[in-house]
């Protein structure tokens, strides 16, 4: 029996939302699971109206696919590593089918807005998140940078700060402000080679997040020649860029070693479930010190017995690093939903 016929018959009755959770009925897996040997492995690079565009990892072929029903509505997102069966030639008009998705190493979720209180996963398997911020035109907004950094730390995705348009304003203040966080800060302008950025992205799956107009598309077009991201188009009416797609798009780096994932329309990531403790985990040096904090310490400056203050007093921690951490965590309490303009 072909895998297609088999899975259609066998899985039609399974709750689509059960994907990713243990099956309710436990049947011997090896016996019941469709045999997908011969399936191709690809990365989901973008999603458009129920069609999943995938790039096969071996051949690099672009394949358009549907998704097995049992994977559920949110079962496949950009960045996923998918098992694909059927016609994977990529030829015009062909349609393959995603039958399985590998467990995700990380998941970034879209900010909830006023009309949509739920958070949706948007990008899977990124191990880095590059916040792209212009030094001028538009000016940097530290509050927003901090919110995005919190989301990155919480999702266990290593943040990078990229400061664009260095030809228009000096980066020194922002660099000084973010260096104590221990994240790489790179500066770009049109006349500067991108060696440093290339090196940071090589071998990684990096999500790029930035407000419209900061030069994210310009950067991607330089990193991935032929990516053809539309640039410079700020819609006068909506104030938003020309990208109307809500799907992220993954682009393989020319070296073949690594991916960048552009996230049009994503201004920030939801923080509603994030706790100071989850952010603290990303700051391992501070986390070690905070073991000595009293129970329930929020590590804010108004906590009388926070061990982080003691560490600064002892000289074991620089005041700049503590201040940066507290500012970042402060973004959690200051957040207002659907802000970010």
Ligand X SMILES: Nc1nc2c(ncn2[C@@H]2O[C@H](COP(=O)(O)OP(=O)(O)OP(=O)(O)O)[C@@H](O)[C@H]2O)c(=O)[nH]1
Annotated binding site for GTP: 164-167, 210-218
Name which position in 20, 60, 232, 319 contacts ligand X (CB under 6 A). 232
**How far is the C-alpha of 41 from the C-alpha of 84, rounded, in Å?**
6
Q: Which tokens hold the place of 106? A: 């990380």
Task: Provide, rounded to whole angstroms, the least separation between the CB of residue 282 and Zn ion.
Answer: 16
Q: Please tell me whether residue 140 adopts helix, strand or coil conformation.
A: coil
Residue 239 interacts with ligand X (CB under 6 A)? no
Residue 9 interacts with ligand X (CB under 6 A)? no
Among ligand X, Zn ion, none, residue 270 binds (CB under 5-8 Å by kind):
none
Task: Provide, rounded to whole angstroms, the least separation between the CB of residue 271 and Zn ion.
Answer: 20
Nearer to ligand X, 99 or 207 (CB): 207
Using alpha carbons only, what angle is made at residue 218 by residues 217 and 224, rounded to the nearest 5 degrees? 80
Is-contact 228 102, C-beta < 8 A? no
Q: Please tell me whether residue 2 adopts helix, strand or coil conformation.
A: coil
Task: Provide, rounded to whole angstroms, the least separation between the CB of residue 234 and Zn ion.
Answer: 43
**How far is the C-alpha of 117 from the C-alpha of 113, rounded, in Å?**
6
CB under 8 Å to 111, separation ≥6 — which residues?
Answer: 119, 266, 267, 268, 269, 270, 271, 337, 338, 340
Query: Edge-to-edge strand order for the sheet containing 249-252?
Result: 185-187, 158-164, 128-134, 205-209, 259-262, 249-252
Q: Please tell me whether residue 115 adopts helix, strand or coil conformation.
A: coil
Among Zn ion, ligand X, none, residue 218 binds (CB under 5-8 Å by kind):
ligand X
Nearer to Zn ion, 137 or 316 (CB): 316
Q: Please tell me whether residue 101 adopts helix, strand or coil conformation.
A: strand
Name which position in 41, 66, 179, 218 contacts ligand X (CB under 6 A). 218
Is-contact 154 279, C-beta < 8 A? yes
Residue 217 interacts with ligand X (CB under 6 A)? yes
Q: Which tokens hold the place of 98? A: 């995603």
Q: How many Cα neighbours within 13 Å face the side chain of 172?
A: 1
Task: Provide, rounded to whole angstroms, the least separation between the CB of residue 134 and ligand X.
Answer: 7
Q: Which chain residues interact with Zn ion by CB under 5 A? A: 293, 297, 299, 306
Task: Provide, rounded to whole angstroms, the least separation between the CB of residue 295 and ligand X.
Answer: 44
Among ligand X, Zn ion, none, residue 164 binds (CB under 5-8 Å by kind):
ligand X
Among ligand X, Zn ion, none, residue 55 binds (CB under 5-8 Å by kind):
none
Annotate 143-177 with DSSP letters as a single string. Answer: HHHHHHHHHHHHHT-EEEEEEE-TTTS--HHHHHH
Stretch that binds ligand X, among 198-206, 226-234, 269-277, 332-340 (CB under 6 A): 226-234
Specify binding-site residues: 164-167, 210-218, 293, 297, 299, 306
Name which position in 3, 34, 79, 213 contacts ligand X (CB under 6 A). 213
Nearer to Zn ion, 95 or 292 (CB): 292
**How far is the C-alpha of 278 from the C-alpha of 300, rounded, in Å?**
14
- The binding track of 162-181 with respect to ligand X, each residue x by CB under 6 A or -, is --xx-xx-------------
State the residue number with the nearest CB to ligand X. 241
Q: Which residues are bridge partners to 129 per DSSP?
A: 159, 207
Specify binding-site residues for Zn(2+): 293, 297, 299, 306
**Interface positions with ligand X (CB under 6 A):** 164-165, 167-168, 188-190, 210, 212-218, 231-234, 241, 243
């Amino acid at each position: 029996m072909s895998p297609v016929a088999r899975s259609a018959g066998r899985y039609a009755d399974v709750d689509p939302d059960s994907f990713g959770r243990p099956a309710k009925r436990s049947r011997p897996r090896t016996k019941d699971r469709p045999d997908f040997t011969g399936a191709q492995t690809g990365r989901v690079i973008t999603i458009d109206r129920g069609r999943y565009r995938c790039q096969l990892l071996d051949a690099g072929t672009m394949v358009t696919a549907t998704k097995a029903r049992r994977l559920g509505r949110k079962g496949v997102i950009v960045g996923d590593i998918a098992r694909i069966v059927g016609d994977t030639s990529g030829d015009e008009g062909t349609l393959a089918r995603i039958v399985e998705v590998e467990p995700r190493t990380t998941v970034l979720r879209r900010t909830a807005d006023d009309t949509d209180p739920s958070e949706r996963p948007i990008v899977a398997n990124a191990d880095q998140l590059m916040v792209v911020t212009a030094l001028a035109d538009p000016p940097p907004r530290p509050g927003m940078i901090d919110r995005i950094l919190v989301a990155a730390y919480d999702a266990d995705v290593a943040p990078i700060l990229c400061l664009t348009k260095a030809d228009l304003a000096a980066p020194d203040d922002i660099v000084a402000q973010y260096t104590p966080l221990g994240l790489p800060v790179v500066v770009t302008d049109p006349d500067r080679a991108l060696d440093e950025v290339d090196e940071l992205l090589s071998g990684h799956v990096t999500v790029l997040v930035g407000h419209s107009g900061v030069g994210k598309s310009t950067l991607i077009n330089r990193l991935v020649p032929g990516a053809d991201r539309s640039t410079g188009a700020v819609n006068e009416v909506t104030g938003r860029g020309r990208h109307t797609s809500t799907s992220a798009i993954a682009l393989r780096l020319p070296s073949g070693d690594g991916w960048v994932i552009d996230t049009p329309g994503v201004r920030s990531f939801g923080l509603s479930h994030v706790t100071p403790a989850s952010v603290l985990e990303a700051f391992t040096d501070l986390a070690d010190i905070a073991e000595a904090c009293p129970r329930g310490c929020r590590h804010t400056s108004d906590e009388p017995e926070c061990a982080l203050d003691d560490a600064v007093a002892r000289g074991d921690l620089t005041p700049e690093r503590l201040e940066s951490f507290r500012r970042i965590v402060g973004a959690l309490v200051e957040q207002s939903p659907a802000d970010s303009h």
